[in-house]
Structure 1
Amino acid sequence: MKPLIFITGASSGIGQALAARFHESGYRLALTARRTAEIESWAAGRGIGVGDAQVYGADVAQVDSIVAAGRACIESQGVPDVVIANAGISVGIDTEDRGDLDVLAETLAINNVGLAATFHPFVAPMRLRGSGRLVGIGSVAAIRGLPGHGAYCASKAGVVAYCESLRGELRGSGVKVVTLCPGYVDTPLTQGNRYGMPFLLTPAEFADRAFGAIEVGTSYRVIPWQMGVIAKLMRALPNALFDRAVQGRGRKKRRHE
């Protein structure tokens, strides 16, 4: 039987590109998002039939919703070989604004709790089988906090730390945990950014590079590698120099903007 991949946030952007890349390589698809009609239309447009793809409606911000989608996948299609927790949001915040605290809470609920809830249904059956790959989508924004990006940077730093913890827990089980940190990818999340985006990738370019890392079970990778170099240099800067370098940098749009 063809291998199976479960992807959240599959209705657009990186999630959709990953679905296309894995389908091209012979994987069956289990695709999850709130907007199921968009996924179904995309699959039909590519001639992907029900035997090769099933769609599960779920809200990653609601733990029981995404857990139920995972369990439905196991019941209908079996235990996936790969699970990609891709769903996420990126919204600017200003801590002076009370409303933006709710944006922070929502960001953490989706990007962190939602990621763990995505993995939850699959950990035990993958461990029992002795194989599988759990993939968390982080970001180079995890490396250092950027002005106006507090919610997103904190959540992606949390993704990296959580996946590292889970990797240690599953060591020796045959289940691999892969952390991918994209740089800038041309998706709806980045198209409104008010600052330069060096080494910008198309979703298809990112998906192609991610596919190789996931297939071999790489524990951690920044894509593209050039952003990994920049991230390491940023991390190495003393705080005073880093703070001066990002002063006046364009900020992520807040929700009302």
Structure 2
Amino acid sequence: MNAAAPLLYITGASSGIGQALAARYAQAGYRLALVARRVDAMQDWANAQGLGPDRCRVFEADMANIDSAVAAGRRCLNDMGVPDVVVASAGQSIGMDTTEREDLDVMAHTLALNNVGTAAAFHPFLAGMKQRGSGTLVGVASVAAIRGLPGHGAYCASKAGVVAYCESLRGELRGSGVAVVTIVPGYVATPLTAHNTYTMPFLMTPEAFAERAFAAIAAQTSYRVIPWQMGVAAKLLRVLPNPLFDRLLSGRGRKKRRSELPPG
């Protein structure tokens, strides 16, 4: 393995945004440390991309489980060294109804994966990055962080948490040489959005998103909404008075709950 090439460590690389970002970094010549629950499927993808063991390793982890997530990071440290870029993109987006007991479990798992999983992705590498004096930590949030959407309580809460957590971490690491970048996607055509029953303005392909995210991460931009049009729309929604915001979303389709999704 060419240890001179920069190293990307990325969670949630088995589909959607994570996979598109992994492909973009491979194109840029990075070595890849890919983290996924489905190791065989992840390895098949790497093989299909022509990424042999000299360019890519796959690490198994359940990012909703702290010990599993941290262990994957430590295996990467042992096998490949301290990454140059860490992207925490593992996440889930499932609708919830607080009147349903089973949906409290959905919320607990969403927060464990989307929030604690982000911190657990960063944790193993912080000491090494600080000692080296360089590195970039990337949290993947969502425009759903800007305002709460009906039926999206778990997802909106988790992504608002990613934004706040990354902002806190950025302040903690000021002056260390380690940058924290918060990427805020709008609507991207991935498995997470495939079952949405409502309009998704400015819908992007994963590849188009990855190209813009790659540039923002390389520039170590602290906060970037992609596409920019969604950033403008989100800011407008943020300043709407609550009664007007509530009226605007009245009757809007809700994200499907787990029991409403097809199996698999």
Amino acid at match of 1:48: L
Query: How far apart, in 2, do the equivalents of 1:17 and 1:27 lie?
Result: 14
How much does 1:239 deviate?
A: 0.5
Deviating 4+ runs (over 6 angstroms)? none
Query: How far apart, in 1, do the equivalents of 2:246 and 2:53 lie?
Result: 52
Structure 2 stretches lacking a partner, 5+ long: none
Query: How far apart, in 1, do the equivalents of 2:54 and 2:77 lie?
Result: 15
Matches within 5 A, 1:93-132: 93-132=96-135
Aligned to 1:242: 245
Q: TM-score if structure 2 supplies the norm length?
A: 0.97
Aligned to 1:72: 75
Amino acid at match of 2:179: K
Query: How far apart, in 1, do the equivalents of 2:46 and 2:101 lie?
Result: 41
How much does 1:39 deviate?
A: 1.2
2:32 pairs with 1:29: yes
Query: How far apart, in 2, do the equivalents of 1:43 and 1:98 lie?
Result: 40
Deviations along 1:158-195, one digit per CA (max 9) or x if unpaired, are 00000000000000000000000000000000010010
Query: How far apart, in 2, do the equivalents of 1:43 and 1:96 lie?
Result: 42
Query: How far apart, in 2, do the equivalents of 1:186 and 1:77 lie?
Result: 32
Query: How far apart, in 1, do the equivalents of 2:100 and 2:39 lie?
Result: 34
How much does 1:46 deviate?
A: 1.4
Amino acid at match of 2:101: R
Amino acid at match of 1:135: V
Q: 1:254 aligns with which of 215, 239, 257?
A: 257
How much does 1:77 deviate?
A: 0.4
Query: How far apart, in 2, do the equivalents of 1:198 and 1:235 lie?
Result: 17
Structure 1 stretches lacking a partner, 5+ long: none
Q: 1:208 aligns with which of 211, 231, 239?
A: 211
Q: 1:16 aligns with which of 2, 16, 19?
A: 19
Q: 1:61 aligns with which of 46, 64, 70?
A: 64
Helix, strand or coil for the counterpart of 2:151?
Answer: coil
Query: How far apart, in 1, do the equivalents of 2:225 and 2:39 lie?
Result: 30
Q: TM-score if structure 1 supplies the norm length?
A: 0.99
Query: How far apart, in 2, do the equivalents of 1:99 and 1:241 lie?
Result: 31
Query: How far apart, in 2, do the equivalents of 1:235 and 1:109 lie?
Result: 26
